[in-house]
Amino acid sequence: MNSSPLPPPSATGDDAGQPARMLREARAVLHAESAGLQAMIAAMEDGHAGDGGLGAAFIAAVEGIWSGNRRVVVTGMGKSGHIGRKIQATLASTGTPAIFVHPAEASHGDLGMLQKGDAVLAISNSGETAEMADIISHARRFGLLLIAMTARAGSTLAQAADIVLLLPHAPEACPIGLAPTTSSTMQLALGDALAIVLLQRRGFSASDFGIFHPGGRLGTRLRRVNELMHTGESMPLGPPGMELRRVIVEMTRKAFGCMGVVDAQGRLLGLITDHDLRLALGRDLDHTLAADIMNPTPQTISPDLLAAEALRVMNDRPRPISSIFALDEGGHAVGILHLHDLLRAGIA
């Protein structure tokens, strides 16, 4: 047996045209899938109730889920199932309760996951997926809202559904027309559209999104000051009549590099920093008061501010600051945030 390595590919003849051909084929796939999306956009234009088109069906699906406060049970087999899992995840993370139920597993006990009042989003390009028969029958038997996402209006799934999200005809990008490509791209995009319109219908905000994404970089960016700040006895605070000697003790004990000067009600009157303290060390420690050396207009933030925005406030100055007080609407000091808190949280 000849065990010598294969010779390197030649840069002449047919091989020389391989990169150009591969890019041409790749562009053809993208053009085919883009054409499918454009066809779907056109099918949704000017949709209104009663016209029987994709636009009207889409509106009915949104209203059916939102007005009924329904959980969405997504189901699909094969490639449609993979797309369905992603649609379910997007729905759930944007405020619409959703689960994925595998149609084959549904026939072996998972139908118990479906509840009264659910909406079932069944995805099948052909509309004739045999494994979906039991979940379709269950939805009909218990009066669940059945939304079909399919490319065939006359299919078994479409005929059984309350609402049909009918995908327009578009050739698959696969050259032999068999592998789901354009069709799965259209399914995914339509699922994204459904999730985002429901998000907007619910008035879902960035802070709501952060609740469902507490982990990872995204969750970190959406954390707020009130989640990281120090409160209560941890805050370095003192009255305007506090002697400089006691100010030094309070600042040293709390180790924030500053002290807030507050009135009897806890409203912030000013701030003393390490820099202010150094300038005042030549004064009489027992007769110089906090009010004598404080900055009466310190930079402050709201406890509801995004932590990332608080970092910008702290850095967007000629001399960046390492600690900042958070005040409520009445001007009361409710917390203090240190740069180290932002570092620990992965924000700075």
Which region among 117-121, 130-134, 321-325, 343-347 has the lowest average model confidence (pLDDT)?
343-347
Q: Is residue 316 part of a domain?
A: yes
Shared domain for 234 and 323, answered yes or no, is yes
In a domain, 277, yes or no: yes
End-to-end CA distance of the chain: 61
In the chain, the percentage of residues whose pLDDT exceeds 70 is 88
pTM above 0.75, yes or no: no
- Catalogue the long-range contacts made by 30-37 (C-beta closer than 8 Å, 24 or more residues apart): 30/173, 32/170, 32/171, 32/172, 32/173, 32/181, 32/182, 33/173, 33/181, 33/182, 33/185, 35/170, 35/171, 35/182, 36/168, 36/170, 36/182, 36/183, 36/185, 36/186, 37/185, 37/186, 37/189
Which of 204, 238, 254 is the C-terminal boundary of a domain?
204
pLDDT at 178: 77
Q: What is the pLDDT of residue 52?
A: 62
Q: Which pLDDT value is given to residue 53?
A: 87
- pLDDT class for 49, splitting at 50, 70, 90? very low
Q: Is residue 13 one of the residues assigned to a domain? A: no
Mean pLDDT lowest among 7-11, 179-183, 282-286: 7-11
CATH of the domain at 115: 3.40.50.10490
Would you say residue 63 lies in a domain?
yes
pLDDT at 3: 47
- Range of 89's domain? 30-204
Predicted pLDDT of residue 132 = 93
Residue 11 has pLDDT above 60, yes or no: no
Please, which pLDDT band fits residue 195 given cuts at 50, 70 and 90?
Answer: very high
Q: What is the mean pLDDT of the segment spanning 160-167?
A: 96
Domain tally, the chain: 2
Q: Is residue 340 over pLDDT 50? A: yes
Give the pLDDT confidence score for residue 205 in this predicted structure: 65
Domain boundary among 204, 236, 271: 204
Same domain, 60 and 137: yes
102 marked as part of a ligand binding site: yes
Q: Are residues 194 and 232 in the same domain?
A: no
For residues 123 and 267, membership in a common domain is answered with no
Q: Determine the average pLDDT of the residues in 168-181.
A: 87
CATH number at residue 335: 3.10.580.10
- Taking a C-beta distance cutoff of 8 angstroms, is the pair 325, 300 a contact? yes
Indicate if 195 and 236 belong to the same structural domain: no
Q: Is the residue at 300 inside a domain?
A: yes
Residue 50 has pLDDT above 50, yes or no: no
145 is a domain residue: yes
Q: Which helix (H) or strand (E) holds 148?
A: strand 145-150
Identity of the residue numbered 3: S
Length of the chain: 348
